[in-house]
Chain A
Amino acid sequence: MWRRSASFVLDKHHNNKPISLTPSLDSPPPLSDSMAEVNPNPNPVSAYYQTRAKHHGIVTSDWLEQAQAAVVRYPDKDSPVAGRRPFSVIEEFDNWRQQPDLAEAVAAIRALAAVIRASEATTMMELEIELKKASDTLKSWDTTSISLTAGCDLFMRYVTRTSALEFEDFNAAKARVLGRAEKFGEISYKARKIIAVLSQDFIFDGCTILVHGFSRVVLEILKTAAQNKKLFRVLCTEGRPDKTGVLLAKELAKLDVPVKLLIDSAVAYSMDEVDMVIFGADGVVESGGVINMMGTYQIALVAHTMNKPVYVAAESYKFARLYPLDQKDLEPALRPVDFGVPVPPKVEVERSARDYTPPQYLTMLFTDLGVLTPSVVSDELIQLYL
């Protein structure tokens, strides 16, 4: 039940309380009926970040209780969205999404493949329309998630752009499409491993790596490096406000990798001892720049100024057909910011969860397509979409 997810609950919650200083969850999130219908997630608070928060164990237990309560209180709300047809993409998607190791986009891809499998369409056209609908539903579920949108688009491209559609036998064609869908899911699933292997050449013994936020790809890279008996040190930023850096530091400490935690504002201070900066990415845009957790841009700027290489690890399903010109040119993904102290009244809080790093501050992109310069991203996208 997607409604049970932390993101949903939090979405609703923050929709009604625009600025929450301390996430006080005492009051059950009031739900308005109108919200549930058209767009399942009209809330500006980024569901993407909520999902991540949940995966990373930042969600408190009482928070989840609230979610449960919400579902109990409005059990019938599930039906309009999920119960429209016997099979629901969102449901499927949510099932996949429960796995903490599975990226959102991969979950979406798996869900879409399930759509094909469950489809009762009798013509290719029908199947395509059904797929389109499903992917639109998924996309509208969280408009702020770049990788979800990109993953759905790429899936549609990859699956429908095949000669299978010219098969005269529908079942054969469907099998073909399904095969492609599963293959794409497999590729996407393995992407992280491929990236980890590709990036090993860049990590040398005795280097110091600065990481920002919690990226599963970056963790995979560092894990693989540690397994390869590479000797390196990691500086983790704290990653306010959701403290993802702390989480990463914990993971790395488990691997016996020397880790040092920094507060986000100490990046410039410690940059001179850093050999390289590695980021993950929420999305890679057409210019070759990346959209990532807030703070990435300033770290990239500092690294660029100090001539340190900046690497971005991103799976190719995060390549999105977006072209932001500046920071405000993005759909804002908002999230609560906990300052730890009460924010004085009449003070506005910047709640945006991510920023855009232009390509000129990036050195290389580690992707499952290979190690690319930023300008190749556009090349790949053009070849894929046009």
Chain B
Amino acid sequence: MDPRRGPLAVPKVRRVDAAAGPLAVPKVRRVGFFTSIEPSPETPRPNRSLSGPAEAITSSSPLSDSPSGQFISPVQIPPSRHHSDNLASRAAPVPVPGPSAFRRQLANDRTLHVGSYNPVDSLLGTSPPSSNGEVSEDSGSLFGFQRSDSAKLSASFPNGGFDMTVAVRAPGESEAKVATASTSDGRKKNVEASGESESVATKPRKEKETKSLKEKTSKAERRAIQEAQRAAKGEGSKRAGESSRPKPSKPAKQPPPKKEAPQVTSSVSEKRAVSVEKERRMDVPQTQMQYDDKSRVDKAKRRSVVEQTESKNKVELFLHLPQYERGNQLPNLSSNIFTLDTIHHAVYKVGLQHLAGDIAGDNARCIAMLHAFQEAINDYTTPPMKDLTMDLTAKINGYVSFLIECRPLSMSMGNAIRFLKNQIRKLPVDLSEPEAKASLCSEIGRFIDEKILLADKVIVQHAVTKIRDGEVLLTYGFSCVVEMILLYAHEIGRKFRVVIVDSRPNLEGQKLLRRLVTRGLDCTYTHINAVSYIMGEVTRVFLGASSIFSNGTLYSKVGTACVAMVANAFSVPVIVCCEAYKFHERVLLDSICSNELGDPDAIANVPLRNNKKHSKTMDNNKNLQFLNLMYDSTPAEYISMIVTDYGMIPPTSIPVIVREYRREDLLL
């Protein structure tokens, strides 16, 4: 058989090589990169194959043994590789392909169950992860080899059908022989046939192998197969074709057994693996979508529910952020709102409120979102044949992407969503659906109560200790925590004056001013332009926050940095009030990477001035771009103190809080 096959194979391989060689190169590259990942895909595989055959097949002894052999083989390969020179390995493999190919064919023909372990093998041979053994060898040796390997790989597929016929022929050989002796014999024969001079180098190795083969036939089998694969790799030319050809035949057969294996193995382990992977994926901080990435934006647009008009003249530096013309006008909904029934109405409502700006303020937005999720979870029923954990997470993801469409999420919302997803993930498996839903809802409620509402109260208690009689407090914009602090301090009889600094276009400070004045506080209202003038008489600056990053950088409403820096220049202490759930473990260095762009019209149009015509002319001006930034970042050195629900801490201690408490929250 060997001689017969040899000649047959040679021309084919050559053809293949010539045709597919160059094309295949990229594939090789890919294999190369996979080397580093190799161990991880390797290890699960043997497991599967182990459990698969063990349960499914018990008839033939070699088969049942085979998994173990296979399991061992990857471990054993490397030393042999190292011992034998590159040359040796190159030489040795040459003969092998023949027998290994036979074996496989035989196996295929013999029984289905053979397939069950073989496929794994062949997978190993062809699929990237399997190439671990090969890859390392290849990378160690020459590129030429890799190319040949790739050629083989690519070649294998078209030739698959042909191989089958060969395989059919193969059964003629006695299986026993194949199992034990054939490998070594066949190799020898092949060596001879190939006509390459097999030097001394290969012999010791061969001997070793034969020994092991005798000890464990199944192992030997495995070894032979691997040998074959290696040979296929190592061999640049003819034989490779042979060995590779049988491989493709297997893939054809594989599907059934492959499917079988996972089914047979208890699905638990599978699930666990999946969940672990998912966890890992979740742990990786989500990268924001870069809006200057055309293809992704287009994709997102197709999915989008809300149609927004993009602003015309975009600012170069901020192309990576979504730039829409927003206003308080009702947004146009694209037609797929009716086709998409996936978004719960409560979420929908909140999303549109975010879009229209009806809900402003981080805490308010976050609470609204969580309430919507609560409602959505309440109305949720697990579809048949689906897992609550998985399906609900997917649902939430859908909601979140809708919310992002409406308005980019704030950092605090991101943290809250992370918390929710963690809660879903941590749900005990044996919980019934209503129970699970109830527990999720109560967890969300607890989050709102503890992390937001109660935290605010604690912050107020802490911050009030820093307000003494006769002080002048400055605040910027509108922060509900700061408002609570000021009102509470007034309530307990502190005598102080408040300076409210405001800025266009939102003029949120007016809301605060109105509320404080009605409560009888002594207030001064000014715009940010006058901050350096007014700062001279100020004794404390209280600021709210959208988020605080690990390096102590404060991410807050645009203009905050200006106020903080002016305060620092006047050596006025700057106190930032921020709930701990808004802390973020990322590091922020500037205001460019992560920001939000508001409606450019908002700054173009000045109220109380009839400038319709004016703005129109400006709209058409290509050289004019409006930049309406929503946030900016204040470096830590301008912050004297952060008041949080864990007490008063310096900005350098943010990572401590994140390290000590966030982990706890996530693991709850």
Residues facing A in B529-575 (CB within 8 A) are: 540, 573, 575
Q: Does B143 contact A (CB under 8 A)?
A: no
B613-652 Cβ-contact flags toward A at 8 Å (1 or 0): 0000000000000000000000001001100001111101
- Chain A positions 321 through 333: 1 when the CB is less than 8 Å from some CB of chain B, otherwise 0: 1010110010000
Q: How far is the CA of A286 from the CA of B649 in the complex (A)?
A: 7
CB proximity of B2 to chain A, nearest CB, Å: 72
On A, residues with C-beta under 8 Å from B are 286-288, 321, 323, 325-326, 329, 359-360, 375, 378-379, 382-383, 385-386
Tell me the bound Cα distance from A360 to B466 in angstroms. 21
CA separation between A382 and B642, bound complex, in Å?
13
Task: Give the 7 A-B CB pairs with smallest separation, nearest first.
Answer: A375-B652, A325-B573, A378-B653, A323-B648, A287-B650, A379-B656, A382-B656
The B83-132 residues at the A interface (CB cut-off 8 A) are none
| Smallest beta-carbon distance B98→chain A, Å | 67
Does B653 lie within 8 Å of A379, measured CB to CB? yes
Q: In the complex, which of the residues A286, A288, A329, A378 has the most CB atoms of chain B within 10 Å of its own CB atom?
A: A378
Determine the distance from Cα of A79 to Cα of B287 in the docked complex, in whole angstroms.
Answer: 70
**Judging by beta carbons under 8 Å apart, are A287 and B641 in contact?**
yes
What residue in chain A is nearest B645 (Cβ atoms)?
A386
Once the chains bind, are B649 and A326 in contact (CB under 8 Å)?
no
From A323, A360, A375, name the one whose CB has the most chain B CB atoms within 10 angstroms.
Answer: A323
Chain B, residues 647-668, CB within 8 Å of chain A (1/0): the string is 1111011001100110000000
Q: A379-B656, A383-B656 are in contact. Are A325 and B650 (CB under 8 A)?
A: no
Contact B650 A375 (CB under 8 A): yes
Which residues of chain B are near A329, meaning CB under 8 Å?
466
Report whether B641 and A323 are in contact in the complex, using a CB–CB cutoff of 8 Å. yes
Partner among B466, B637, B656 whose Cβ is within 8 Å of the Cβ of A378: B656
- Report whether A382 and B573 are in contact in the complex, using a CB–CB cutoff of 8 Å: no
Given contacts A325-B466, A325-B573, is CB(A386)–CB(B650) below 8 Å? no
Q: Shortest CB–CB separation between residue A7 and chain B, in angstroms?
A: 28
Q: Given A382-B656, A382-B660, does the pair A321, B640 have CB atoms closer than 8 Å? A: no
Query: What residues make up the interface of B, taking CB atoms closer than 8 Å to A?
Result: 466, 540, 573, 575, 637, 640-641, 646-650, 652-653, 656-657, 660-661
Q: How far is the CA of A383 from the CA of B660 in the complex (A)?
A: 8
Show 22 A/B contacts (Cβ-Cβ < 8 Å), sorted by A: A286-B647, A286-B648, A286-B649, A287-B650, A288-B650, A288-B652, A321-B647, A323-B641, A325-B466, A325-B540, A325-B573, A325-B575, A326-B573, A359-B650, A375-B650, A375-B652, A378-B650, A378-B652, A378-B656, A382-B649, A382-B653, A382-B656
A325 contacts B653, CB within 8 Å? no
Q: Which residues of A contact B653 (CB under 8 A)?
A: 375, 378-379, 382
Question: Are B641 and A325 neighbours in the complex by a CB distance under 8 Å?
Answer: yes
Residues of chain A within 8 A (CB-CB) of B637 are 360
Contacts of B640 in A (CB 8 A): 287, 325
Knowing that A287-B640, A325-B641, A382-B660 touch, tell me 10 more A-B residue pairs with CB under 8 angstroms. A287-B641, A288-B650, A326-B573, A360-B637, A375-B650, A375-B653, A378-B649, A378-B650, A378-B656, A382-B646
Task: Give min CB distance, A380 to chain B, whole Å.
Answer: 9
Distance from A149 Cβ to chain B, minimum over Cβ atoms (Å): 15
Separation of A346 and B653 alpha carbons in the complex (Å) = 46
Please tell me if the beta carbons of B657 and A382 are within 8 angstroms of each other in the complex. Answer: yes
A386–B646 CA distance with the chains assembled, in angstroms: 7
Chain B residue at minimal CB-CB distance from A375? B652
A304 to chain B, nearest CB (A): 14
Q: Which residues of A contact B650 (CB under 8 A)?
A: 286-288, 323, 359, 375, 378
